[in-house]
Amino acid sequence: MPDIVQNPFAIQPGTVQRGLTRIRALSAGETVADAVVPLLVWEYSYAPRYFFAPEDVRAELRPAGEGERSRVLGPSELFDVVLGDRVLRRAAQRFPEAPTEGMRSSYTLTWSAMDTWLEEDEVIHFHGRSPYVRVDTLHSSRHVRVVANGEVVADSHRPVILTETGLVPRYYLPRVDVRMDLLSPTDAVSYCPYKGTARYWSVTAGGLKVHDAAWGYETPLREAAGVAGLVCFWPEKSPDLEVYVDGERIVPS
């Protein structure tokens, strides 16, 4: 019997695909690039980078020397992006020896050098979005119990289960079902282009403190709106942090 596939949607680094939605990059209100059919290039498996054909670049590109060599795309060339009197230094890159011939003349832009990225007319947050990632939130009556070093931290029969392509399900709990007195906010922050900005809590229970062991989204993006204000625990953080679903412990992979 064939093995069960764990993640059939893992994208191999070096994959190049034509996009199906318009992508724009702007700086201070000026359009730097605008492509109805951009190239999506996975230099790494978790997210694509957007590449623009020369005719889709609206700014002047001025050669700025050699860039870093990519393990999968080869050597690169850097360019300053010139917008009138403004210069975004070394903010564009090209890979003239890339394995896929169709992308060798195309340019990618440094994400942080642009202040606005748009997919059609919606803002893209943090990095490029994969067309193969889907996020769903599902209300459930499953029993979720969280135990830290022998002390019950949360007990709920009304979790919201968040599923995201390629990742394990996560169980988000109402705060009234969580011992919030055992949680203390931290400075940790993480960013996701599908869910938004997450902030973290440490859990102190049973004489043990597990740092950044829970997180939540106060104002998630549209796909994850169902988990707004809820709390999710991270059993991978410590073997002393146990999450049970219907009596069965989640074993971190």
Residue 58 within any structural domain of the chain: yes
Of residues 196 and 4, more confidently modeled: 196
Domain boundary among 123, 144, 175: 123
How confident is the model over 23-52, as a mean pLDDT? 96
- 74 lies in the same domain as 153: no
- The mean pLDDT of the chain is 95
- 69 lies in the same domain as 147: no
Confidence of residue 218 (pLDDT cuts 50, 70, 90): very high
DSSP letter string, 133-152: --EEEEE----EEEEETTEE
Residue 139 within any structural domain of the chain: yes
Whether the pLDDT of residue 167 is over 70: the answer is: yes
Digit-coded pLDDT (tens) for 49-79: 999 999 999 999 999 999 999 999 999 999 9
pLDDT score of 11: 87
Task: For residue 196, give its domain range.
Answer: 135-249
Whether the pLDDT of residue 4 is over 80: the answer is: no
Confidence of residue 163 (pLDDT cuts 50, 70, 90): very high
pLDDT score of 128: 96
CATH for 98:
2.170.150.40
pLDDT score of 1: 43
* Encoded tokens for 84: 């009138």
Confidence of residue 31 (pLDDT cuts 50, 70, 90): very high
Cα of 217 vs its chain's centroid, Å: 14
Number of domains in the chain: 2
Lowest-pLDDT range, 1-10, 20-29, 55-64, 202-211? 1-10
Confidence of residue 169 (pLDDT cuts 50, 70, 90): very high
Instruction: Give residue 18's identity as a one-letter amino acid code.
Output: R
- 97 lies in the same domain as 197: no
* CA distance linking residue 136 with residue 198, whole number of Å: 17
